[in-house]
Amino acid sequence: MRSFPAVRISSSMSSPPRSLCVIRLSAIGDCCHALPVVQAIRSAWPETRITWIIGQVEHSLLEGLAGVDFLVLDKRAGRRGMRELKEKLKARRFDLLLQMQDSLRASRVALMTGCRRRVGFDRRRARDIQWLFTTERIAHRPRQHVMEALFGFAEHLGIERPAAPRWDFPLGAEDLQAAARMAPERPFCVMSPLSSQRRGAFRNWPAERYASVARHVVEQLGGEVLLTGSGTSMERDYAAVIAAQPGVTDLNGRTTLKQLVALIGLARLVVCPDSGPAHLGAALGTRVVGLYAGSNPDRSGPWGNREFTVNRYPQAVLRSLGKGVDDISFGRRLRAGDVMNEIAVADVIETVERAWALPGRNLQPRSPGSAEAREKTAPQ
């Protein structure tokens, strides 16, 4: 399990605040990265009332998290959603705000809170002119993973990083039972082929290549494949290709996010691009075969799964830009539609075989709750 480097920092707080607001609206993977930070703050400041302003989809994953109140922004509702959030905020007062998302919408929400002390990213990393909306900025540290960067907010407050991140997903018995019903008796792989990025499909590997990997899992490794997704038209198109063979079950649109978490906790491994399921798998300790070419896994890869990451980002940077990774801005995304073609089927199969062959179903669990959930619901 990957741990954090030891970090100590002087406190910028004379005493814990009475109330704290966290803004991280989206996406699923980034909210996964923010969760251990919020839990570390809660452990250090048990008397502080924590409110997390979050998107509707992401809230469905974290609803019920102990010690945290949520205010939900319906982003799809546009101006109406912002007005509704503003109305909810009228009854709230915050002593401190952590603006963990650098977008204009998040900055507007930060101003709506009326909080005078607003902590954001350092100017070199902040996007969408976030620095104009914050009163304090975390220390700049170059070339950090997203979660390490978010822990900069805790460090800014004088809160020490835990030895290892902790994820306590608030799963109910019904979520665990639903996952147990969906899980096959044989060892299985969760395959979540599509990323939900808004512009283009630069993180999506071709469906035919996923189908080849699925066939190998079934025919050569003796496992099964559960295909997951939210049920969009593109996901249905992918499913028509990947699930057109024995041993692959199409669960597109048939799981809630919490059921997906429970299902991933039971899986032998996850195969997916840079997307929410990659980070859910990493949080649960399930091995993640992450497919990376359009984004840099050093910044956004599944935590603790570097040995199973198929990383063709350096090759894609060289082909697309004629430069090395160290010659471009850290974390720069490549948005060419064919960038994922840098990843060969043979490389993914080799990585899947290595991950599959290791003893046990998972890596070290990330929290006692996730370990207990796996033990109670694992297929026999």
- Give the tens place of pLDDT for each residue, 238-289: 999 999 999 999 999 999 999 999 999 999 999 999 999 999 999 999 999 9
Mean pLDDT over residues 26-49, rounded?
A: 98
Q: List the structure tokens of 239.
A: 């499913």
DSSP letter for 302, please.
Answer: P
User: Helix count (H) and strand count (E) of the chain?
Assistant: 14, 12
Whether omega for the bond prior to residue 207 falls within 30 degrees of 0, making it cis, is: no
Concatenated DSSP letters for 130-161? GGGS-SEEPPP-SS--HHHHHHHHHHHTTPPP
- Which pLDDT score, from 0 to 100, does residue 126 have? 95
**CA 129 – CA 44 distance, rounded (Å):** 31
- Which pLDDT score, from 0 to 100, does residue 46 have? 98
Confidence category of residue 364, pLDDT binned at 50, 70, 90:
very low
Q: Does domain 173-377 have CATH number 3.40.50.2000?
A: yes
Q: What is the pLDDT of residues 304-344, one digit of tens each?
A: 999 999 999 999 999 999 999 999 999 999 998 899 999 99
Sign of CA dihedral 27, 362, 227, 288: positive
List % helix, strand, coil for the chain (3-state, nearest 5): 40, 15, 45
Mean pLDDT over residues 184-198, rounded?
A: 90
Assess whether pLDDT exceeds 70 at residue 231. Answer: yes
Q: In what order do the strands lie in the sheet with 68-73?
A: 68-73, 49-55, 19-23, 96-99, 118-120, 136-137
- Which pLDDT score, from 0 to 100, does residue 2 have? 61
Concatenated DSSP letters for 37-94? HHHHHHHH-TTSEEEEEEEHHHHHHHTT-TTEEEEEE-GGGTHHHHHHHHHHHTT---
Q: In what order do the strands lie in the sheet with 269-273?
A: 248-250, 224-227, 188-191, 269-273, 287-292, 310-311
- Which pLDDT score, from 0 to 100, does residue 376 have? 38
**CA 319 – CA 274 distance, rounded (Å):** 20
- Which pLDDT score, from 0 to 100, does residue 276 have? 97
Q: List the structure tokens of 275.
A: 């997307």
Confidence category of residue 13, pLDDT binned at 50, 70, 90:
confident
Confidence category of residue 366, pLDDT binned at 50, 70, 90:
very low
Superfamily of chain region 19-156: Glycogen Phosphorylase B; (3.40.50.2000)
- Which pLDDT score, from 0 to 100, does residue 213 have? 99
Q: Give yes or no on whether 19-156 and 173-377 have one common fold.
A: yes
Mean per-residue pLDDT of the chain: 92
- Which pLDDT score, from 0 to 100, does residue 14 have? 78
- Which pLDDT score, from 0 to 100, does residue 372 have? 40
Assess whether pLDDT exceeds 90 at residue 140. Answer: yes
What is the domain partition of the chain in residue ranges?
19-156, 173-377
**How large a percentage of the chain has pLDDT more than 90?**
88
282 CB-near residues (< 8 Å, 6+ apart): 32, 288, 302, 303, 304, 305, 366
Residue in the block written with tokens 């910028």:
12
- Which pLDDT score, from 0 to 100, does residue 99 have? 99
Contact 333, 198 (CB under 8 A): no
Assess whether pLDDT exceeds 80 at residue 196. Answer: no
